[in-house]
Amino acid sequence: MTVKAYYLKTLIGTPVLSESGRQSGYIADFVVKLKAGVPCLEKAVVFAFDSSTHRIAQRSDFKEYSPEKFLLEKTISDLPPFSQADGVVTATQLWDKSVIDTVNVRTVQINDLKLIFTTDGTIQVSGIDISFAAAIRRLGLDGLVTPVLRRFGTDVVEEIIDWEKLIGLGDEFSNITSEETSDNLQNLHPADLAEIIEELDEDERISVIENLDEDVAAETLAEVEGETQLQIIETMDAEAASDIIEEMDPDEAADLLQDMDQSKAQAILDHMDLDDSSDVRKLLEHREDTAGGLMTTEYAAIFEDFTVAQAFSHLRLVSVDIEIIYYLYVIDTHEHLKGVVSIRDLLSANPAQLISEIMDDDIVSVHPETEQAEVANLISKYDYMAIPVVDDHKKIIGVVTVDDVMDVMEEEASEDLFKFAGSSEEELNYTSPLQACRARLPWLLITLGTGFITSTILKNFMAEFSHVLVLAFFVPVVMAMGGNTGIQSSTLIIRGMALNSFSGRDLFRRLMSEIAAGALMGLACGGVVGIWAHYLIASDPTAQFSHSAIFLAITVGIAMMAAMTFAAMFGALVPIVFERFKIDPAVASGPFVTSSNDIFALIIYYSVAFLMLSHIQ
């Protein structure tokens, strides 16, 4: 039977009374011990008023031991002094420590300890409070903050996690995990473990990985970010790291070792099993961004003269060593790729049929040096789950699976997105403002340079049309609309080229279509801005203009239409030109197109205004 629950913070500062009932000190802390897997507050650390020192009190030193009153049976000066000896952990030292919540699969921080007083006088830690309420309680502000929040309709609630639902803080209450808690970690999904590991400190990451079974550690490492993978493996001993990497798929192991310090990578390969290291070494011969770098050497192959029954027998033997089997690749006695059979084909075929009779011999394959983007496009185009990689002699050497391609597509999309903004994915790992500045500043300086050009043009514009200064009011809107139109066109063309949606004459037709769309949008926006310009000019009766409001409005509208038409053409044309010169088209978007279109929009506005006004004069 238990009584009301309390918090550690509410016990800290509780008066400690002498036998006479007079306060002689207060509770400063407790010593924590793990008993049957449950932390207990075994001894009290008391601050003594008479000596201004901390003293240690056993449970037996108290006549009454309750949350409301701690009554000593002896004089406080008779208690021995408290010393923070090795191995002694106090309850307040658990505050702010990180543990793993296995219910919600996350890393959380201890804001306070929830306690229960049992009937036998033991104080047990029943759970942890990770809520904002616990944080303000720790600061002593709960009496002030809570009423204010409730006044605004927000209630401060506790968020308690039971101690048995936590992983971490073993006997020493120090590391995030220990040998005693590794069984709980084993039961978590590798993807969930990966999320937890990303949140931990460097030492804690190593501790978690080292306490996992090698196969679980390998699956977990495959799920974490590349930088975290490198940090973990490079910190580990080469022999321990090799045991884990042996359990990884060869393509994933090769990707990891390729990015490492080569001396450390070589040491790991030397410690690996000969067969495993041989597969990885073969993959390391290929560039990371090619089919050879993406492929795995674990695939199922059968001979063309097998029967369906023999194919199933063979599949049972090799399936143990192959993580994912989508297809069985059919080869001849010289290992030349002859066809492919899906598992579904096998299941629906007569067991006595020959594989050569049911196989599909219309094979789409790639070479080891095929670019990863092309591999991704082929798998997407044909809806394959995997695509074989063959050498110059048409011998199969590996397969690229759809999960690898999904990673490539995400990587390519992210790379393009960062290029649109004039940045790079590396910035996600930057911790220094100087590193971020170094990455972004070049594009910003280019943009600043175009700003110098536009300011020079604008200066001449103002001087040339000082008698119709009202035209300057519409410079920002013409430049903005030109820039946005250019970005739309370039993004559409770049994405189309990335997906192979059009090429050749289709690309030319798309260019013409973008120009036409730009002209139509320019006509619509030019009409709207012309109406607004007429209203703005005509609504000021005190202003004196050398030309009528209608004429000036028409000038602004024509300039808007011309600027947007040109921006659409420029935004669509530049990626095409860049692609022809083997420059990444993504570079053509973002800062480049926007800055260039600002200049051209201003030149077009200047030119239209000059022609219109000089014609009427």
Interval 225-281: pLDDT, tens:
888 888 888 888 888 899 999 888 888 888 888 888 888 889 999 989 888 888 888
Q: What is the pLDDT of residues 481-518, one digit of tens each?
A: 988 888 888 888 877 776 666 666 677 888 888 899 99
C-alpha to C-alpha distance for 151 and 164, rounded to whole angstroms: 36
Flag whether pLDDT at 424 surpasses 70.
no
Residue 371 is given by DSSP the state B
> Does the pLDDT at position 428 exceed 50?
yes
pLDDT for 514-566, tens place per residue? 899 999 999 999 999 999 988 888 876 655 566 678 888 898 999 999 999 99
Contact 292, 389 (CB under 8 A): yes
CA atoms of 328 and 491, how far apart (whole Å): 40
Identify the weakest region by mean pLDDT among 30-34, 103-107, 170-174: 170-174
More confident position, 5 or 492: 492
Question: Per-residue pLDDT for 587 more than 80?
Answer: no
Percent of the chain at pLDDT exceeding 90: 22
Q: What is the pLDDT of residues 434-487, one digit of tens each?
A: 766 776 777 778 778 877 888 888 888 777 777 777 788 888 898 889 888 888
pLDDT band (50, 70, 90) for residue 616 = low
- Does residue 188 have a pLDDT over 90? no
> Residue 256: what pLDDT?
87
pLDDT at 226: 80
Q: Which residue has the higher pLDDT, 376 or 306?
A: 306
Q: How far is CA 356 from CA 228, 346, 363, 462, in A?
A: 47, 12, 14, 80
Contact 353, 307 (CB under 8 A): yes
Say whether pLDDT at 1 is over 50: no
- Band (422; pLDDT cuts 50, 70, 90): low
* pTM score of the predicted model: 0.56
Average pLDDT, the chain: 83
pLDDT digits (tens, 9 = 90+) for 280-333: 888 888 888 899 988 988 899 999 999 999 999 999 888 877 877 889 999 998
* Cα 326-327-331 angle, rounded to 5 deg: 155
Please determine, for residue 181, whether its predicted confidence score (pLDDT) is greater than 50.
no
CB 418 within 8 A of CB 564: no
Taking the C-alpha atoms of residue 527 and residue 219, their distance in angstroms, rounded to an integer, is 60
Residue 339 is predicted with a pLDDT of 94
Give the pLDDT band of residue 183 (cuts 50, 70, 90): low
DSSP H/E element including 505: helix 505-538
| Residue that is written with structure tokens 């049911």 in the block | 358
Q: How far apart are CA 559 and CA 589, in angstroms?
A: 23
Q: Kindly report, residue by residue over 385-415, the tens digit of the pLDDT.
A: 999 999 999 999 999 988 888 877 777 666 6
As a whole number of angstroms, the distance between CA 364 and CA 269 comes to: 33
Quick one: pLDDT band at residue 417, thresholds 50, 70, 90?
low
Stretch among 53-62, 113-122, 376-385, 461-470 having the lowest mean pLDDT:
461-470
pLDDT of residue 179: 45
Q: In the prediction, which pLDDT does 279 show? A: 86
Hey, what amino acid is at 454?
A: T
Query: Token pair for residue 368?
Result: 């080891």
Instruction: Reply yes or no on whether the pLDDT at 180 is more than 50.
Output: no
* Strand pairing report for 106-109 and 38-48: unpaired
Could you give the CA distance from residue 8 to residue 91 in angstroms, rounded to a whole number? 8
Averaged pLDDT, 195-212 = 80
* Collapsed DSSP state (helix, strand, coil) of residue 32: strand
The answer to whether residues 24 and 18 touch, using CB atoms and an 8 Å cutoff, is yes
Domains within the chain, CATH numbers bracketed:
2-95+110-130 (2.30.30.240), 175-285 (1.25.60.10), 294-417 (3.10.580.10), 439-616 (1.10.357.20)
Question: What's the confidence (pLDDT) of residue 431?
Answer: 57
What gap in Å lies between CA 23 and CA 580, rounded to an integer?
Answer: 87
Q: What is the three-class DSSP state of 13? A: coil
Residue 430: pLDDT band (50, 70, 90) is low
Angle at Cα 126 formed by Cα 122 and Cα 132, nearest 5°?
Answer: 130
Structure confidence at residue 367 as a pLDDT band (50, 70, 90): very high
pLDDT at site 348: 92
Query: Which residues lie below 8 Å from residue 38, measured CB to CB, with a gap of 6+?
Result: 124, 125, 163
Q: Report the DSSP pairing between strands 327-331 and 300-303.
A: parallel
Which burial class, exposed, middle or buried, applies to 532 when counting CB atoms under 10 A from its CB (0-12, 13-18, 19+)?
A: middle
Judge whether residue 76 has pLDDT over 60: yes
